[in-house]
């Protein structure tokens, strides 16, 4: 198999959740540039999605969908089948977290973390992946082919380093990285392993991709401590995970399933 064939994704029909986000749009563009057909799911479109729809009008389809609602995902499945057919790649990228600017109760001590915040994050980050695997994975199982890529996080492998936020506490804020995001991303790792075994004989590969932080104009005080903690010395650029998803979707990884690919600048090596 030639190098071009090894990484060829031009025949793939790719579903990407959270396509309106920073990384979702990057993944979509990477596949579209290489000839794939892409279905992007999100609650609402973005300017990036609009650009992709204009540039790749025959190969990109945006569908408004809620990953926490199975009926919404089934409707999206019907729409994409009518246009492109059965998906061959699923990238479960949609996720939420409490932003640094969230109310104090969201980023306060663990003992006071709101139950409703836990439910909201777990609902999107873990239940959403489970439902998407049910709907789109089941369609793959019927045709006997597919690659599912579940996007995890370094904070699903190791605990958040609360020392990173000491600079905020020193200036009088009460701030801790919340628990729900870590718990949800940890759950993705074993959900992926479970499905890799369950669907192994159906020719469906299921892997997780563990990523680190992405530069998105964070405040300089945070960048200083974060980049000082990471061996490579900087946050990732938004396009630096594209190679990993292309690899996991392509024939280059055809014997890889049930694995967790870590692309984190060395964060978990410490």
What is the distance between the terminal CA atoms of the chain, rounded to a whole angstrom? 37
Predicted TM-score of the model (pTM): 0.97
Q: Are 200 and 259 in contact (CB under 8 A)?
A: no
Angle, vertex CA 166, rays to CA 222 and CA 117, nearest 5: 80
32's enclosing H/E stretch is: helix 22-33
| Contacts with 60 (C-beta within 8 Å, 6 or more apart), sequence order | 28, 32, 37, 38, 39, 40, 52, 53
pLDDT attached to residue 1? 60
Angle, vertex CA 190, rays to CA 202 and CA 146, nearest 5: 25
Domain positions in the chain: 3-160+180-217+238-262
Beta strands in 43-143 (DSSP E): 60-64, 89-92
pLDDT attached to residue 54? 97
Range 3-160+180-217+238-262: architecture per CATH: 3-Layer(aba) Sandwich (3.40)
pLDDT attached to residue 102? 81
Q: Between the CA of residue 11 and those of 5, 76, 246, what are the distances in Å? A: 11, 20, 13
pLDDT attached to residue 2? 61
pLDDT attached to residue 3? 58
Confirm whether 167 is a catalytic residue.
no
- Separation of alpha carbons 231 and 268, rounded Å: 10
Question: Which position among 113, 155, 165, 181 bears the catalytic label?
Answer: 181
Handedness of CA 240, 246, 252, 256 (dihedral sign): positive
Q: What is the mean pLDDT of each run of 10 residues along the chain (270 residues)?
A: 84 98 98 98 96 97 98 98 98 92 87 95 98 98 98 98 94 93 98 98 98 96 97 98 98 98 97
């Amino acid at each position: 198999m030639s190098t071009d064939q090894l990484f060829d994704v031009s025949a793939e029909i790719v579903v990407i959740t959270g396509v309106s986000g920073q990384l979702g749009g990057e993944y979509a563009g990477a596949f579209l540039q290489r000839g794939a057909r892409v279905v992007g799911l999100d609650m609402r479109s973005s300017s990036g999605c609009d650009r992709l729809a204009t540039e790749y009008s025959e190969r990109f389809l945006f569908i408004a969908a809620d990953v926490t609602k199975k009926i919404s995902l089934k409707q999206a499945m019907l729409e994409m089948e009518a246009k492109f057919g059965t998906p061959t790649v699923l990238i479960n990228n949609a996720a939420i977290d409490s932003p640094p600017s969230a109310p104090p109760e969201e980023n306060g001590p663990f003992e006071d973390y709101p139950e409703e915040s836990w439910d909201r994050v777990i609902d999107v980050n873990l239940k959403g992946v489970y439902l998407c695997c049910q709907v789109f994975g089941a369609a793959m199982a019927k045709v006997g082919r597919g690659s599912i890529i579940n996007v995890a996080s370094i904070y699903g492998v190791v605990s958040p380093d609360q020392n990173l936020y000491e600079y905020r506490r020193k200036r009088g804020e009460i701030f801790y990285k919340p628990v729900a995001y870590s718990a949800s991303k940890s759950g993705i790792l074993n959900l992926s392993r479970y499905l890799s075994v369950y669907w192994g004989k159906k020719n469906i590969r299921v892997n997780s991709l563990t990523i680190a932080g992405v530069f998105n104009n964070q405040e300089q005080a945070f960048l200083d401590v974060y980049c000082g903690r990471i061996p490579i010395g900087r946050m990732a650029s938004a396009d630096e995970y594209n190679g990993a998803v292309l690899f996991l979707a392509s024939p280059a990884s055809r014997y890889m399933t049930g694995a967790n690919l870590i692309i984190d600048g060395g964060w978990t090596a410490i």
